[in-house]
Amino acid sequence: MKQSVVTVRLNGQPYQIGCGPGEEAHVEKLGRDVEEVVQELVSSVGQVGEARLLAMVSLIMADRANGEAKVDPKSEEGGKVSGEERSVEVLQEATKKISLLATKLASHTLKP
């Protein structure tokens, strides 16, 4: 079986990703989705290192995937939360947690 290679850019770095023939467009779309989350994080927490940034992105993306089936208890109809609404909530929650952690780390490292 022949494998195709797609180059995706994440946080300015090119990554060559192998995929099956005909899956190139899908892999490129996934790369753009991940890059969107990377840039959102970079704008909220800054450049915190590639490994940490990609770990945070992975957690956010996994939470999004799990959250798509969650029901919004605040909804009058009890309807599902849209993927975009859940993504915003997840990113806001992650940003708060990361900011709190950064504050704790900064205050810990500044103490004599």
Please report, for the chain, the start and end positions of each structural domain, with discontinuous segments joined by +.
4-110
Q: What is the pLDDT of residues 24-61, one digit of tens each?
A: 999 999 999 999 999 988 888 888 888 888 888 888 88
Pick the more confident residue, 79 or 53: 53
Q: What is the pLDDT of residues 66-76, one digit of tens each?
A: 876 555 555 54
Pick the more confident residue, 33 or 1: 33
Q: What is the mean pLDDT of the chain?
A: 78
DSSP string, the chain: ---EEEEEEETTEEEEEEE-TT-HHHHHHHHHHHHHHHHHHHHHH----HHHHHHHHHHHHHHHHHHTT-B-TTSTT-PBPPHHHHHHHHHHHHHHHHHHHHHHHHHHHH--
